[in-house]
Structure 1
Amino acid sequence: MSDVNPIKTRRDGAILEIILDRPKANAIDLATSRIMGEVFQTFRDDPDLRVAILTGGGDKFFCPGWDLKAAADGDAVDGNYGVGGFGGLQELRDMNKPVIAAVNGIACGGGLELALSADIILAADHASFALPEIRSGTVADAASIKLPKRIPYHIAMELLLTGRWFDVDEAHKWGLVNEILPSEQLMDRAWDMARLLASGPPLVYAAIKEVVRDAEDQKFQDAMNHITQRQLRSVDVLYSSEDQMEGARAFAEKRDPVWQGK
Structure 2
Amino acid sequence: MSGTVLISRDGAILTVTISRPERRNAIDRATSEAIAAAMDAFDADDTLSVAILTGAGDHFCAGMDLKAFLNGERIELKGRGLAGMIETPPKKPVIAAIEGYALAGGFEIALACDLIVASETAQFGLPEAKRGLIAGSGGLVRLPERMPRQIAMECALNGRMIPAMEAERWGLVNRLTPTGGAVEGARALAIEIAANAPLSLVATKEIVSAGHRWPEAELWPRQNAILETVITSEDAREGAAAFAEKRAPIWRGR
Q: State the TM-score, normalizing by the size of structure 2.
A: 0.93
Q: 1:242 aligns with which of 222, 234, 242?
A: 234
Q: Residue type of the partner of 2:113?
A: A
Residue 9 of structure 1 aligns with which residue? Answer: 7
**Residue pairs, 1:119-158, within 5 angstroms:** 119-141=114-136, 142-158=138-154
Q: Does the aligned pair in 2 maintain the 1:34–1:82 contact within 8 Å?
A: no
Q: Which runs of 5+ in 1 are unaligned?
A: none
Residue 111 of structure 1 aligns with which residue? Answer: 106
Rounded to whole Å, the distance in 2 between the matches of 1:138 and 1:80 is: 16
Cα root mean square deviation, aligned? 1.8
SS at match of 1:63: coil
Deviation digits for residues 104-128 of structure 1 (CA, Å, limit 9, x no counterpart): 1100101001111111100011101
Residue 257 of structure 1 aligns with which residue? Answer: 249
Deviation digits for residues 50-96 of structure 1 (CA, Å, limit 9, x no counterpart): 1111110002x1001111111122224xx552673211222226x22
Q: Does the aligned pair in 1 maintain the 2:36–2:85 contact within 8 Å?
A: yes
> Does 2:57 align with 1:67?
no
**Residue pairs, 1:1-262, within 5 angstroms:** 4-24=2-22, 25-59=24-58, 61-76=59-74, 80-81=76-77, 84-92=80-88, 95-141=90-136, 142-219=138-215, 222-228=218-224, 230=225, 232=226, 235-262=227-254
Q: Does the aligned pair in 2 maintain the 1:37–1:82 contact within 8 Å?
A: no
Q: Does the aligned pair in 1 maintain the 2:99–2:180 contact within 8 Å?
A: no
Residue identity over aligned pairs, in percent, reads 41
Q: Does the aligned pair in 1 maintain the 2:76–2:84 contact within 8 Å?
A: no
SS at match of 2:213: coil
Q: Residue type of the partner of 1:241?
A: S
- C-alpha displacement of 1:44: 0.9
Q: Does the aligned pair in 1 maintain the 2:117–2:186 contact within 8 Å?
A: yes
Deviation digits for residues 116-162 of structure 1 (CA, Å, limit 9, x no counterpart): 11111000111011101111211102111111122111111111111
SS at match of 1:148: helix
Q: Does the aligned pair in 2 maintain the 1:37–1:88 contact within 8 Å?
A: yes
Q: Does the aligned pair in 2 maintain the 1:37–1:85 contact within 8 Å?
A: no
- C-alpha displacement of 1:223: 1.3
Structure 1 residues 45 and 73 mapped into 2: Cα distance closer, same or farther (>3 Å)?
Answer: same
Structure 1 residues 189 and 23 mapped into 2: Cα distance closer, same or farther (>3 Å)?
Answer: closer
Q: Does the aligned pair in 2 maintain the 1:109–1:130 contact within 8 Å?
A: yes
Q: Residue type of the partner of 2:21?
A: P
Deviation digits for residues 148-192 of structure 1 (CA, Å, limit 9, x no counterpart): 122111111111111111211111111110111102332222222
Q: Residue type of the partner of 2:234?
A: E
Q: Residue type of the partner of 1:209?
A: K
Q: Which runs of 5+ in 2 are unaligned?
A: none
Q: Residue type of the partner of 2:51?
A: A
